[in-house]
């Protein structure tokens, strides 16, 4: 950082205090970055308006509709504000989706401190950040070189349908899923019907089995990565 430059301001949004404090400790020793606020999801919109942040780092869980709604809000009302999404979810499924919703970068919680800082600086410089593996996957998909990605049935699901499928795989009832995603029971049932059609599943039992197996695969993947 040059003598005349000022640290760039970072707003941390995460519902878990331990996540916010961990990010705060990571950034506070960096001369070119400063934390201008750390808030939970419910206070994020007011903090964005008041903080004059230069970048937003947001802990988004795809099972929590608030994070997705916040991403859409920022893009609609603060289009120039870079957003780095921090998540524990499988990046091979969710990174591209969140980028499509307006995120400038996606990094998983098992990334190193150095990688997290590098990703922050990347999005502050107006670039897109994803892992090398995801970048390669996106390039191949765009070029039509990977039939696996294009042929994966899960790729046909919308972000909301993925949320419903994930919660179903955890054993949540329709009512619990509706409450978690702030939806009506009727809307959740409609999502379930669309999921069955897109995955070519005939019965609710087949849907449940698919959801449970999908959840187990993601859990196994995270264990291997960790």
Long-range contacts of 73-77 (CB under 8 A, 24+ apart): 73/45, 74/48, 74/102, 75/101, 75/102
Tracing tokens 């331990």 back to the chain, one arrives at: 18
Domain end among 105, 139, 173: 139
**147 part of a folded domain:** no
Cα-based distances in Å from 205 to 2, 85, 186, 192, 196: 62, 34, 19, 12, 10
The pLDDT assigned to 143 comes to 52
> Which secondary structure element, helix H or strand E, spans residue 118, and what is its range?
helix 113-124
Burial classification of residue 117, based on how many CB atoms lie within 10 Å of its CB (0-12 exposed, 13-18 middle, 19 or more buried): middle
Ordered DSSP codes for 142-196? HHT--HHHHH-GGGGS-HHHHHHHHHHHTT--HHHHHHHHT--HHHHHHHHHHHH
Say yes or no: 175 and 196 in one domain.
yes
Please check whether residues 214 and 109 belong to one and the same domain. no
Domain span at residue 80 reads 8-139
Q: Is 56 helix (H, G, I), strand (E, B) or coil?
A: strand
* Per-residue pLDDT in tens (0 to 9) along the chain, 226 residues: 444 478 999 999 999 999 999 999 999 889 999 999 999 999 999 999 999 999 999 998 756 678 888 998 999 999 899 999 998 877 777 787 888 888 899 998 888 999 999 999 989 988 888 877 677 666 555 555 434 444 567 778 888 888 898 888 888 888 888 988 999 999 999 999 999 988 888 877 788 878 877 776 665 555 555 5
Q: Which two tokens stand for residue 97?
A: 């989706």
67 exposure class (CB count in 10 Å sphere: 0-12, 13-18, 19+)? buried
Tell me the CA distances in angstroms from 81 to 19, 66, 76, 101, 116, one per residue in order: 21, 18, 10, 14, 18
Domain end (from 92, 111, 139) = 139
With respect to residue 18, please indicate whether it lies within any of the assigned structural domains: yes
pTM over 0.95: no
């Amino acid at each position: 950082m040059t003598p005349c430059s000022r640290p760039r301001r970072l707003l941390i949004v995460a519902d878990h205090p331990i996540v916010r404090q961990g990010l705060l400790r990571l950034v506070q020793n960096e001369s070119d970055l400063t934390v201008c606020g750390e808030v939970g999801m419910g206070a994020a919109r007011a903090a964005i308006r008041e903080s004059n942040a230069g970048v937003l780092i947001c802990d988004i869980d795809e099972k929590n509709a608030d994070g997705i709604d916040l991403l859409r809000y920022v893009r609609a009302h603060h289009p120039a504000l870079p957003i780095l999404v921090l998540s524990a979810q499988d990046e091979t499924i969710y990174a591209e989706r969140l980028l499509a919703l307006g995120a400038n970068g996606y990094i998983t919680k098992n990334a190193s401190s150095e990688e997290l800082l590098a990703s922050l600086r990347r999005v502050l410089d107006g670039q897109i950040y994803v892992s090398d593996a995801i970048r390669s996957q996106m390039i191949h998909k765009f070029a039509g070189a990977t039939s696996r990605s294009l042929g994966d049935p899960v790729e046909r699901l919308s972000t909301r349908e993925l949320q419903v499928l994930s919660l179903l795989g955890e054993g949540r009832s329709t009512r619990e899923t509706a409450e978690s995603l702030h939806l009506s029971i009727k809307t959740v049932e409609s999502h379930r019907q669309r999921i069955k059609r897109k995955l070519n599943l005939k019965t609710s039992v087949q849907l449940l089995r698919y959801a449970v197996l999908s959840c187990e695969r993601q859990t196994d993947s995270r264990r291997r990565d960790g």
